[in-house]
A and B are shown apart, each in its own frame.
Chain A
Amino acid sequence: DAGVTQSPTHLIKTRGQHVTLRCSPISGHKSVSWYQQVLGQGPQFIFQYYEKEERGRGNFPDRFSARQFPNYSSELNVNALLLGDSALYLCASSSDAGLGYQPQHFGDGTRLSIL
Chain B
Amino acid sequence: QQQVKQSPQSLIVQKGGISIINCAYENTAFDYFPWYQQFPGKGPALLIAIRPDVSEKKEGRFTISFNKSAKQFSLHIMDSQPGDSATYFCAASSTGNQFYFGTGTSLTVIP
Chain A residues proximal to chain B, CB less than 8 Å: 4, 33, 35, 40-45, 48, 50, 55-56, 58, 90, 92, 97-109
| Contacts A42-B4, A55-B97 known; 18 new A-B pairs at CB < 8 A | A40-B103, A40-B104, A42-B104, A43-B44, A48-B98, A50-B97, A56-B95, A56-B98, A90-B44, A99-B96, A101-B51, A101-B96, A103-B46, A104-B34, A104-B99, A106-B43, A108-B42, A109-B43
Q: Collect the chain A residues with CB atoms within 8 Å of residue B102's CB.
A: 42
Q: Are B44 and A106 in contact (CB under 8 A)?
A: yes
Q: Are A103 and B43 in contact (CB under 8 A)?
A: no
Query: Using an 8 Å CB-CB cutoff, how does the interface string of B60-100 with A read, 1 for contact, 0 for none?
Result: 00000000000000000000000000000101010111111
Cβ of B49 within 8 Å of any chain A Cβ, yes or no, is yes
CA of A58 to CA of B4, assembled, Å = 15
CA of A103 to CA of B44, assembled, Å = 12
Q: In this complex, what residue of A is CB-closest to B106?
A: A40
CA of A35 to CA of B93, assembled, Å = 14
What's the minimum C-beta distance from B92 to chain A, rounded to whole angstroms? 11
Task: Determine which of A41, A98, A100, A108 lies in contact with B97 in the assembled complex, contact meaning CB atoms within 8 Å.
Answer: A98
Q: Are A106 and B101 in contact (CB under 8 A)?
A: no
CA of A104 to CA of B104, assembled, Å = 18
